[in-house]
Structure 1
Amino acid sequence: MANKAGNRRVGTAAKDDDAAAAAQQPKILTLSAVTLATRDMARAVRFYEALGFPLKYGGPSETFTSFEFGGTFLNLIADARAPAAWWGRVIVYVSDVDRLYRKALAAGLEPEFAPLDAPWGERYFHIVDPDGHEISFARPLG
């Protein structure tokens, strides 16, 4: 910030100005939702319900569906033209990775591998939904 003579303020006053400006900036708080396209809403809803995702809105015959967990939403939007291509993954923390893995198997789903302990400190497994979206279920180790 400049004084009346056009000189840049220095020292404590400049730091206070910088701190005040930073305090007024918007902050990124949390992830609200991830929205995934699906070519078959009924099939996608069955998949996520089989894993235990709680349905909040919509359903198998709707064009938009939301599952809510831990204050976050996983949304599905019907789009018959949605391409099946790898785009990355969503990581969801769960209370018991191994129990969810067994639940997925019991529901006839096919996780990519059995739960592993990762060197970065998580136990996890991956599963691909019917539209090709990769979901990782994890829990911190220790």
Structure 2
Amino acid sequence: MARAVSFYKALGFRIVHGGANDAFTSFVLGTSFLNLTSETHNPVRFWGRGIVYVSDVDAFYRKAKAQGIEPQFAPRDAPWNERYFHLTDPDAHELSFARPL
């Protein structure tokens, strides 16, 4: 959890519950929420992508890079009318930062 808290705080997420020494932490960024757990009993195995809307995708991309976080690709416009980029957190969860065009 400590590694995840450090990563998300570097991106500007604010902790609203829990923290580096807790098994459950809830973050907020704008109007988006992210909940993480480090509990290992009865693990759920699935894949997904968290999508966080930000006001300026390119500025958020630059912020991630300035924090030493390497996105998967530079921001781009998608045919589904979003500008977005992806990155992967330290535990291999994929995140998309986007805004509608």
TM tier relative to shorter chain: 0.7 to 0.9
The yes-or-no answer on 1:52 pairing with 2:25 is no
Contact (CA 8 Å) 2:52, 2:97: kept in 1 or not?
Answer: yes
Contact (CA 8 Å) 2:32, 2:52: kept in 1 or not?
Answer: no
Where does residue 89 of structure 1 map in the other structure?
Answer: 49
Structure exhibiting the larger radius of gyration computed from Cα positions: 1
Q: 1:82 to 1:106 in 2, by over 3 A?
A: farther
Q: How many residues align?
A: 100
Letter in 2 for 1:50: A
The yes-or-no answer on 1:73 pairing with 2:33 is yes
- For normalisation by structure 1, the TM-score amounts to 0.64
Unaligned runs of 5+ in 2: none
**Which of 1 and 2 has higher RCO (CA within 8 Å, sep 6+)?**
2
Q: How does 1:78-117 map to 2 (within 5 A)?
A: 78-79=38-39, 87-117=47-77
Task: Show structure 1 runs of 4+ deviating over 4 A.
Answer: 80-83
Letter in 1 for 2:37: I
Return the structure number with greater helix share: 1
Q: Deviations over 1:21-59 (max 9, x none)?
A: xxxxxxxxxxxxxxxxxxxx0100011111111111111
Please give the alpha-carbon distance, in whole angstroms, between the structure 1 residues aligned to 2:9 and 2:22: 15
Where does residue 125 of structure 1 map in the other structure?
Answer: 85
Matched-pair identity in %: 65
Where does residue 100 of structure 2 map in the other structure?
Answer: 140
Q: 1:74 to 1:44 in 2, by over 3 A?
A: same
Letter in 2 for 1:131: D
Please give the alpha-carbon distance, in whole angstroms, between the structure 1 residues aligned to 2:15 and 2:100: 25
Contact (CA 8 Å) 1:123, 1:140: kept in 2 or not?
Answer: yes
Q: 1:52 to 1:102 in 2, by over 3 A?
A: same
